[in-house]
Structures are given as C-alpha cells and as structure tokens.
Amino acid sequence: MGVLDKAAAVLDALEAGPQTLAQLVTATHLARPTAHRLAVALEYHRFVSRDNEGRFSLGPRLGELSSATGEDRLIAAANPVLIALRDHTGESSQLYRRQGDQRICVANAERTMGLRDSIPVGASLSMKAGSAAQVLLAWEEPDQLHRGLQGASFTATNLSAVRRRGWAQSVGEREAGVASISAPVRGPSGRVIAAVSISGPLERMGRQPGRVHSAAVVAAAGRLTDVLQTTEGISE
C-alpha cells in the first residue's frame, strides 16, 4: 500500500503539468531515488510520459482508462450548468481542463443562432492566451506559474488580479475579435481543476465583458464546484 500511495503522489503532482525530477521531489516530499524509480516505472506502464525537455507528465494510459469508464462525471455534472449559462448570457459556454501545456475543451453548450465563437469538444488550445488559460494558471505553485508565463499574452500582474477577483477576461487575446470570461472550478480539496468560460464576438460582448457577465460565470463555476465537492467518486 505504501508503494501505491507514493505512486499516487507522483500522479497527483503531475496533474499540474510537466515537472522535472527535482520538482517532483519537492511536490511529493519523496526521496529523489524513490521519486525517480516510481516515475520511470509509471512511464513503463504509460501512466507517465516525458516531453522533449525530459520533464515527466501524465501519460496516455490515464486517458484510455478514463474513456473506458463510459462517463466522465465532471462532464456529466457540467452539461446542465453550461446550458444554463449559455441561456442566461446568450453566449457559447465551455469547460476546459488543463493537459500539460494545453487546455482541452471537454464540454460545451454553443449558441444556437447568430455569430458565435465555436470551440468543439476535444479542441486543444494554448495555455499562453485566453481567459481560461489565465484561470488554470493563476493558482499554480510559483515555479509553475513563472514557467507558464514565459511567452504568454498575459502577465503576473494580470494573474494577481484574477486571484483577487476570482475570474478572468480576455479581449482579442486568443483570437482577434473574440472576447471571453472564465472562472475556476475547484475539486474537493479546493484545488482548481477546470475553468468554466463563455466566449463570443467582441462587437457583442464589448471590451469589458466581465462587467456584464462575470457574476454569471462565477456563479456557474460555483455551482459546478458545489456538485463536485458533494459527489462521491469525483477525483482531482
């Protein structure tokens, strides 16, 4: 059981994104040889992989096992929340989860008529631009936050404001003519595990979309957080 606990600690640490061995040691409090041995063993079984810089990250086997369950409980909980958010704001809504250096749209509710920002489920977007990227990065540990800011369209000052007010907005950051607002979804431990967003054309949402829609987005993220924290079996 001790080995399983330590392996779980390695996987938990990698959920935040790619990590060097030194970062794994810091995050897990494991001895360096133990952390290395477990990471390599998990890599052999494809639960962990390594990027071009030699950093460890979550591997493809986890996604395969998740798909095999037939239902992602987070997505099941998100669908009615996203639909309600879309209907309330009149804009397309999305749920994003971070996967390494990308954010993945795992659920959406698109505006049914008129001009809209269409983000299909499964779309992989950069963690360097957009309000959802800001939310998914803002509460990371300092070293990971610093690394995530390299080459990003937003700054540490922007992320400080996100943490203070509890939501993020972007205007033409990810794509010219598109605005978005995002808020964090937290798991049972309080850790940010996803971002709820709305996005649409700048001409309709304006240059300060948060003034109009931030309360609705924060409320939607809060409802989803409440569901996750009271539903057994939701894992972070």
CA 206 – CA 179 distance, rounded (Å): 8
Assess if residue 236 is contained within a domain. Answer: no
pTM over 0.85: no
Residues 90 and 119 reside in one and the same domain = yes
Tally Cβ neighbours within 10 Å of residue 58. 20
- CATH number of the domain where residue 78 is located: 3.30.450.40
The angle formed by the CA atoms of residues 8, 223 and 135, to the nearest 5 degrees, is: 60
Residues 202 and 104 reside in one and the same domain = yes
The per-residue pLDDT for 66 is 58
Residues 94 and 12 reside in one and the same domain = no
CA 63 – CA 46 distance, rounded (Å): 10
Residues 80 and 175 reside in one and the same domain = yes
Tokens 């850790």, located at residue: 191
Within 8 A by CB and 6+ apart from 108, the residues are 82, 92, 93, 94, 95, 119, 120, 121
Residues 151 and 82 reside in one and the same domain = yes
The per-residue pLDDT for 215 is 96
The per-residue pLDDT for 234 is 43
User: Which of 66, 82, 100 is a domain's end point?
Assistant: 66
The per-residue pLDDT for 1 is 60
> Which portions of the chain are predicted below pLDDT 50?
68-71, 232-235
